[in-house]
Structure 1
Amino acid sequence: MSAVRIVGTGGYQPGEPITNDRIERLVGPLPDDVLNGLSIERRFWIIDPETGEHRENNSDMACEAARRALDSAGMEPGDIDLFILATGTPDYTLPPVVNLVQERLGVARCATMELRSGGAGVVQGLDIARMYLASGRYRTAMVIGSEAISPVLAPVFLGRDPETIRMRDRMPVYMFGDGAGAIVLRADEVESGEQAYGVGELTGGLLAGATRAIGGDRAPGIWAVGGGTHAPIHRQLAAKRLVDLKVDVVGAGDFTPVMVTEAISDTLACAGVTSDSIDLCLVPEGNVGWMLDALRAAGLDTPEWRSLAGKIIDSLSTMGAVGCAAVPLFLDDAWRSGRIKPGLRVMLIGVESTKWIYAGTVVDWTAEVPVR
């Protein structure tokens, strides 16, 4: 019998933290109630806020997170059989970022895969890796989430008077940051009947996950328009911005609670566990006050949500909204700070409001807290 376990994680964010005061100098202020609702105090960017010049890129961050994850797992790059990477902001359309990481880590031959499911991508990747490893096809895997959003934000404020920037254009600048996180998985043989830290499963490790896209009849909540094949390139080049990041804040506020509620219910059902058995739940927006208020207002404050009271963890306020990187980056932060320890059952929820995708998984944690 094989157990697929998380044996290491790594996280990386570039440069020095950028506070809300500095964002205000770039784009102007937000109303206090809106700023409090975002619940983000700082973020990190690969660009220089004053010039827009790149100091790093997506693959730089992904490689650094991968190296830190390997170090925590006590492994070398060549030990990894399968690399899965999720991003919505690649260095290039092709080749995939995952293969740039493979090359820079010095791995000549391995299986690779790249996902474009936004914030849900890494959790989807964990379930894909779990199935490959449990089948015996591979023994080790690394799942990476990396996001470089700041280059798209720069045209909003570079060379402009902050007073002329519209409120709807200011909000994404306050929200989004850059970063990468990586998770190392290993399939371990266990004896029949072996109990892992007494958490209720015979083998511990990752349990079956859930994923679903529930926005087939809804407009996107976030839309990055430009640089693709939706229109002739010469017309795109003539546009005000080559890439325009559109965020439907109202739509996200209305539907994200619905998506998260369904994600939790579906994940528990697929994993075959109950909500009261969960010790910690990582939801990248779980501690945001507006969402908890919206849950109650919409009648979605379910028994499952109530049983998770006091168990929700995230790092949104100090790391920013980082898309594909959120789940692995926040997970790494929680593990290294000692909040996640062996013997705890942790539920990971990833959500993506571009087309309303969710993914969830449950892991019976076995990795010891790394020595600082």
Structure 2
Amino acid sequence: MIRSVVHGCGAYLPQRVVTNDELARKVDTSDEWIRQRTGIRQRHIAAEGEFTSHLALKASERALAHAGLKASDLDLIVLATATPDETFPATATRVQSALGMTNGAAFDIQAVCAGFVYGISIADSMLKNGLASTALVIGAETFSRILDWTDRATCVLFGDGAGAVVLKAEEGKGLPADRGVLANALHSDGRQHDILYVDGGPSSTRTTGLLRMEGKEVFKHAVVNMTAVVAEVLEKTGLGPGDLDWLVPHQANKRIIDGTGRKLGLSSDQVVVTVDKHANTSAASIPLALDTAVKDGRIKKGNLVLLEGIGGGLAWGASLIRW
């Protein structure tokens, strides 16, 4: 049986850091209000002229270096983003060109905050089916470009960044003890469109709009759906929450993260949290958190790691990986 084994990860954050106090000078909010409701203390914001492809490229270079591989080893790039450089072509092709990769395919996917999990699932399927042998999965966003900076309910929540992992197809025995992606589960519910969306697009308005969100409704769906999809992906392998070493959730809100962890019976020490430093970076949030925990030594070879996320659509999913 072919397994998609993680060989390296990398991340990149823009240099500029915006604190809650700085935002409080622009909109009616405060550091205390933001921290109590979200857990966020700061976020990184891309510089003028710094695009999603630039962030993605830097994270990709670091992931390849961590894996000990070159761009010429790749034959697949899957880039999850809701903030592409252009309507077309795919931002992934810009990364492909900048890396010097000339073999295989590169394309974007759009599942907003669940995008990285969707990307892992797609790359895993392609590796298992022999359509590629070495894949780069990226989550990259410049969400600061689609925020209404006068709306205190949303502008305080998001930041920019990028993260990436390198997957290689390797022979396994099909056992839960094997390294690699063990199982994936994906879902969407288009009926919930109006609780989280951007009000613009080339087909409807010919302009890029701004993010709109009903926070209470998103919170309600997030905890329920995240718990259910985690149970689903574990059931596929015959494993349970007690087998998990680490939960690496989408970093949207500390209360959502804590609620999901409690429902799974996990201790806070088993949940990777970076929302305080990065805010919600949409498709980039899971790989940013993952890279943090790998590089500081928490996630080790052989650990059972669960990735999960939910975003606009609504779209949500989970991936179970033996590191």
TM-score > 0.5, shorter chain as reference? yes
Aligned partners of 1:202 and 1:40: how far apart in 2? 36
CA distances 1:53-82 after superposition (whole Å, capped 9, x unpaired): x14111000000000000000111110011
Displacement of 1:287 in angstroms is 7.2
Displacement of 1:176 in angstroms is 0.6
For 2:202, the aligned partner's letter is G
Name 1:313's counterpart in structure 2.
272
Displacement of 1:131 in angstroms is 1.9
Going from structure 1 to structure 2, the CA distance change for 1:363 and 1:76 (only over 3 Å counts) comes to same
Question: Unpaired segments of 5 or more residues in structure 1?
Answer: 48-53, 157-164, 194-199, 237-241, 366-372
Going from structure 1 to structure 2, the CA distance change for 1:314 and 1:150 (only over 3 Å counts) comes to same
Name 1:113's counterpart in structure 2.
107
Aligned partners of 2:256 and 2:121: how far apart in 1? 30
Name 1:173's counterpart in structure 2.
155
CA contact (8 A) 2:180 2:322 kept: yes
SS in 1 for 2:92: helix
Going from structure 1 to structure 2, the CA distance change for 1:306 and 1:287 (only over 3 Å counts) comes to farther
With 67-76 and 247-256 compared, the bigger mean Cα shift is at 247-256
SS in 1 for 2:190: coil
Q: Does 1:201 align with 2:176?
A: yes
With 201-210 and 141-150 compared, the bigger mean Cα shift is at 201-210
Going from structure 1 to structure 2, the CA distance change for 1:127 and 1:290 (only over 3 Å counts) comes to closer
Going from structure 1 to structure 2, the CA distance change for 1:287 and 1:253 (only over 3 Å counts) comes to closer
Displacement of 1:267 in angstroms is 1.6
Q: How does 1:37-116 map to 2 (within 5 A)?
A: 37-47=37-47, 54-116=48-110
Aligned partners of 1:189 and 1:267: how far apart in 2? 21
Going from structure 1 to structure 2, the CA distance change for 1:350 and 1:290 (only over 3 Å counts) comes to closer
Going from structure 1 to structure 2, the CA distance change for 1:287 and 1:151 (only over 3 Å counts) comes to closer
Name 1:51's counterpart in structure 2.
none
Name 1:248's counterpart in structure 2.
214
Name 1:262's counterpart in structure 2.
228
Name 2:295's counterpart in structure 1.
336
| Bigger Rg, which one | 1
Name 2:120's counterpart in structure 1.
126
Displacement of 1:309 in angstroms is 5.4
CA distances 1:159-193 after superposition (whole Å, capped 9, x unpaired): xxxxxx5xxx1132211100011110011235x59
Name 1:29's counterpart in structure 2.
29
Q: Does 1:151 align with 2:141?
A: no
Name 1:368's counterpart in structure 2.
none
Name 1:361's counterpart in structure 2.
319
Aligned partners of 1:20 and 1:141: how far apart in 2? 37
Question: Unpaired segments of 5 or more residues in structure 2?
Answer: none
Name 1:184's counterpart in structure 2.
166
Displacement of 1:244 in angstroms is 2.0
With 64-73 and 102-111 compared, the bigger mean Cα shift is at 102-111
* Bigger strand fraction: 2
CA contact (8 A) 1:57 1:148 kept: yes
CA distances 1:311-364 after superposition (whole Å, capped 9, x unpaired): 221211111100010111111111001110112111111211x22211111111
Compute the TM-score of the two structures, normalised by the length of structure 1.
Answer: 0.81
CA contact (8 A) 1:271 1:361 kept: no
State the superposition RMSD in angstroms. Answer: 2.3
CA distances 1:22-55 after superposition (whole Å, capped 9, x unpaired): 11122232484554111111100114xxxxxx14
Aligned residues: 323
Aligned partners of 1:6 and 1:150: how far apart in 2? 30
With 83-92 and 28-37 compared, the bigger mean Cα shift is at 28-37
**Sequence identity percentage:** 30
Aligned partners of 1:10 and 1:285: how far apart in 2? 17
Displacement of 1:225 in angstroms is 1.1
For 2:237, the aligned partner's letter is A
CA contact (8 A) 1:278 1:308 kept: no
Q: Does 1:226 align with 2:200?
A: yes
CA contact (8 A) 1:2 1:203 kept: no
Q: How does 1:204-215 map to 2 (within 5 A)?
A: 204-213=179-188, 215=189
Displacement of 1:307 in angstroms is 4.4
Compute the TM-score of the two structures, normalised by the length of structure 2.
Answer: 0.92
CA contact (8 A) 1:286 1:314 kept: no
Aligned partners of 2:115 and 2:14: how far apart in 1? 21
Aligned partners of 1:286 and 1:345: how far apart in 2? 22
SS in 1 for 2:265: helix
